[in-house]
C-alpha cells in the first residue's frame, strides 16, 4: 500500500483524470528474468521512435484508446510543431516509475537543441502499452518577487525545523529591525510539498512569507516531512505524522527565538493545512489565532469525487473511487489505496473536525476562499460559515476572482492555469495583515 506521500496536492487528480481511458488490448508478453520494468522499456522505445520521426513505431506503442485519441497525423503534427519551436530532440531523462491508480507513470525532461520540455508517460502494466502521453514546454519564469514584496524590509534565515530523524529544511523571513515581531507558521496542503508550496509555476508560500515580512511580520516556512523522508516514513503515515507534529514543533521553535513576540504567533494553513490549523494551534498552545486559506469542509472522498467529475475523469476511474468511498463512509478500509493513500489515512482525515477545534481554540479565526476555487467549493466554506456563526473573532469570506492558490484569473478555472507563473494576490496579504493586527495578543506562555 502506498503512503500519502504519493498523492497530489489537495487531492488534485491531474495526471490520470486527464489521461485517455484505457480499452482492452492484447496482453503483453511476460518480461525476461532481470529485465527492466516495462514502463522503462516502453518510455525509451517511444522517445527513440519520435526522435527518429518514426511515427508508425510510436503509434504501435499506444493502446487502442490512445490511438483513437491521438491519431498518427495528430501525433506527427504535434511533434513536428514542438521541434519547430525547440529544435531536434537531443536526449531525455525520466524518473523511476511510480504508481497512480493502477497505472505506472514516469515524469521526465526532454532536451531539445534549443530548449527543454517536461513530459509524462503513463503505462498500463496489464497491457504494457502507453495509456497517456503529455508534453508541456517550460512556462516562462515568474518575476523573482511579487510586486508587493520589499526585499529591503526583511532578511531570510535558513534553519532546521523538527527533531531527529525528521529534521526539515526551513526559511525564516525576519523583518528589518530588532523586534520582537509578530510571527506566522505556514502549514501546507496535502502531498509532498516544499517550503515554498510550489504548485506548477507558482510558489504560494514564498509569496505569502515575503509579502507579510515586507509588512513587519516574521514568517517560518519549511519543507514537508513527506517531501524529504518519503522512503523512511513507510505505509502507515497518519495526519499527525504528515502535518501536525512538525507544525507544533515549528511553533515552539519560533516562540523560543528572541526576535519573535511569543504572544503574537499565528498559524496560517492552506487547504488541508487550513483544516488542521485550529488543531495545530490548540495542541501548540499560546497561539494568537489562525488563518485558514481554502480549508476543506466536506469528507475528503466527497471532495475527491467532486474534483474528478469537474475534471471529467474517465467513468471507470470515477466508479472505482465511488466504490472505495462507499466503504470509507461506513468506516471500512477499501482494498488497495485511493489516490496513493491508504484507507486508514482517509479515515484519519475524515475524523479531523476543524470547526470543533476552532471553537475549542476560542481565538480569532479568518477563513478565506477564492471565488474561482474548483477544488474547495462554496459548499466547503458553508461548513465553516455555519459552524462558526456567532463565534467572536471569526470571519468567513469569499475573495472574488481568485483560484485555489489565491491567484487572480478569469473564466472557467482548470488545473492548466496552475502552470502559469504568477503571484498570490496582494489583497489576500493585506487582509491577513489587517486581521492579525486587529486581534489581541495571546496570554503569556
Residue labelled with grid coordinates 475524515: 350
- Give me the residue label for grid cell 519549511: 222
* Grid cell of 331 as nine digits: 468506516
CA distance 356 to 377: 20
Q: Among all chains, which residue has been given the C-alpha cell 527543454? A: 116
Cα 268–chain centre separation: 16
- Give the bridge partners for 218, in sequence order: 183
- Phi and psi (nearest 5°) for 324? -70, -40
**CB count in 10 Å sphere of residue 87:** 13
Find out whether 373 and 406 touch, Cβ atoms under 8 Å: no
Could you list the active site residues?
271, 373, 404
Nearest to 86 by CA among 106, 65, 115, 60: 115
User: Which residue shows C-alpha cell 510550489?
Assistant: 198
Amino acid at each position: 500500500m502506498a503512503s500519502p506521500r504519493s498523492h497530489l496536492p489537495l487531492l488534485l487528480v491531474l495526471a490520470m483524470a486527464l489521461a485517455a481511458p484505457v480499452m482492452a488490448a492484447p496482453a503483453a508478453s511476460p518480461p525476461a528474468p532481470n529485465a527492466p520494468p516495462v514502463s522503462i522499456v516502453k518510455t525509451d522505445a517511444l522517445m527513440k521512435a519520435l526522435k527518429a520521426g518514426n511515427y508508425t513505431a510510436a503509434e504501435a506503442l499506444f493502446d487502442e484508446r490512445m490511438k483513437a485519441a491521438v491519431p498518427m497525423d495528430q501525433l506527427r503534427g504535434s511533434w513536428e510543431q514542438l521541434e519547430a519551436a525547440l529544435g531536434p530532440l537531443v536526449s531525455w531523462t525520466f524518473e523511476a516509475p511510480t504508481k497512480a491508480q493502477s497505472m505506472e507513470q514516469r515524469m521526465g525532461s526532454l532536451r531539445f537543441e534549443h530548449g527543454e520540455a517536461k513530459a509524462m508517460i503513463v503505462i498500463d502494466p496489464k497491457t504494457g502499452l502507453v495509456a497517456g502521453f503529455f508534453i508541456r514546454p517550460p512556462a516562462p519564469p515568474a518575476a523573482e518577487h511579487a510586486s508587493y514584496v520589499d526585499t529591503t524590509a526583511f532578511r531570510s534565515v535558513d534553519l532546521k525545523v523538527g527533531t531527529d530523524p525528521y529534521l526539515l529544511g526551513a526559511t525564516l523571513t525576519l523583518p528589518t529591525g530588532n523586534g520582537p515581531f509578530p510571527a506566522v507558521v505556514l502549514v501546507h496542503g496535502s502531498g509532498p510539498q516544499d517550503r515554498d508550496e510550489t504548485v506548477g509555476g507558482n510558489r504560494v508560500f514564498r509569496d505569502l512569507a515575503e509579502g507579510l515580512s515586507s509588512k513587519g511580520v516574521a514568517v517560518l516556512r519549511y519543507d514537508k516531512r513527506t517531501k524529504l523522508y518519503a522512503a523512511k516514513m513507510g505505509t502507515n503515515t497518519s495526519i499527525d505524522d504528515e502535518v501536525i507534529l512538525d507544525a507544533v514543533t515549528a511553533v515552539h521553535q519560533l516562540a523560543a527565538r528572541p526576535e519573535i513576540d511569543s504572544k503574537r504567533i499565528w498559524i496560517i494553513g492552506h487547504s488541508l493545512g487550513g483544516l488542521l490549523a485550529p488543531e495545530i494551534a490548540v495542541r501548540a498552545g499560546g497561539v494568537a489565532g489562525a488563518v485558514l486559506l481554502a480549508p476543506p469542509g466536506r469528507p475528503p472522498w466527497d471532495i475527491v469525487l467532486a474534483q474528478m467529475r469537474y475534471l471529467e475523469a474517465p467513468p471507470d476511474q470515477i466508479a472505482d473511487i465511488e466504490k472505495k468511498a462507499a466503504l470509507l463512509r461506513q468506516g471500512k478500509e477499501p482494498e488497495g489505496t485511493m489516490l496513493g493513500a491508504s484507507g486508514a489515512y482517509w479515515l484519519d482525515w475524515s475524523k479531523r473536525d476543524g470547526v470543533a477545534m476552532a471553537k475549542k481554540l476560542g481565538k480569532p479565526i479568518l477563513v478565506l476562499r477564492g471565488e474561482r476555487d474548483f477544488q474547495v467549493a462554496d459548499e466547503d466554506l458553508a461548513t465553516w460559515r455555519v459552524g462558526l456563526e456567532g463565534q467572536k473573532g471569526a470571519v468567513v469570506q469569499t475573495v472574488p476572482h481568485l483560484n485555489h492558490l489565491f491567484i487572480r484569473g478569469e473564466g472557467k478555472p482548470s488545473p492548466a492555469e496552475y502552470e502559469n507563473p504568477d503571484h498570490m494576490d496582494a489583497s489576500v496579504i493585506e487582509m491577513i495583515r489587517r486581521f492579525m493586527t486587529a486581534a489581541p495578543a495571546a496570554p503569556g506562555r
